[in-house]
Amino acid sequence: MTRTNAALALLALAMTLPVLADTTSDEKAIQDLIATYATAIDRADTDTAAQIFSDSPEVTFINPRGEVRGRQQIVAEIVQNLMGGTFSARKLTPSEIAVHVYGDTAWSEFNWDFTATARKTGAPFHSQGVETQIYRRENGQWRIVHVHYSGRQLVR
């Protein structure tokens, strides 16, 4: 290998390292965002949920009950009414998380396990499923722009 070729190879490698480091950093940030999302569900925390979802009008949340559009509606219908209103205690556990970053957009897919206590009856509730989330970097922060989840099975 000539010195010129060796220098070009090193330059090419050096140019890709920051990209790899940024991707790793972004993947970690999104994994942290998923953990924050789970905590917001666990606590039915509308303030935290409002911070992690984009305020863009095209934001959507698809679930077995239907589709919810916009951050305000997602926070009210999913976090406050469904999670907070239906269950007195909740625990969402994401697992097998895969994150894919492409510049200022990304997506994740993961399995989840959800246990809860029904507010009205005190009965235990358990479900499992899969979820995909899509993200956009806004002002340097990752925000959720789309959630689509499906239940695998209902276990009571």
C-alpha to C-alpha distance for 44 and 80, rounded to whole angstroms = 6
Cβ partners under 8 Å of residue 104, min gap 6: 136, 137
Q: Which of these ranges, 12-21, 32-41, 94-103, has the smallest mean pLDDT?
A: 12-21
Q: Kindly tell me the number of DSSP H helices and DSSP E strands found in the chain.
A: 4, 6
Q: What is the pLDDT of residues 116-143, one digit of tens each?
A: 999 999 999 999 999 999 999 999 999 9
Task: Specify the DSSP element, H or E, that contains 72.
Answer: helix 71-74
Q: What is the set of domains in the chain, with CATH numbers?
A: 3-155 (3.10.450.50)
DSSP labels, 27-56: HHHHHHHHHHHHHHHHHT-HHHHHHHB---
140 neighbors 53 (Cβ within 8 angstroms): no
pTM for this predicted structure = 0.82
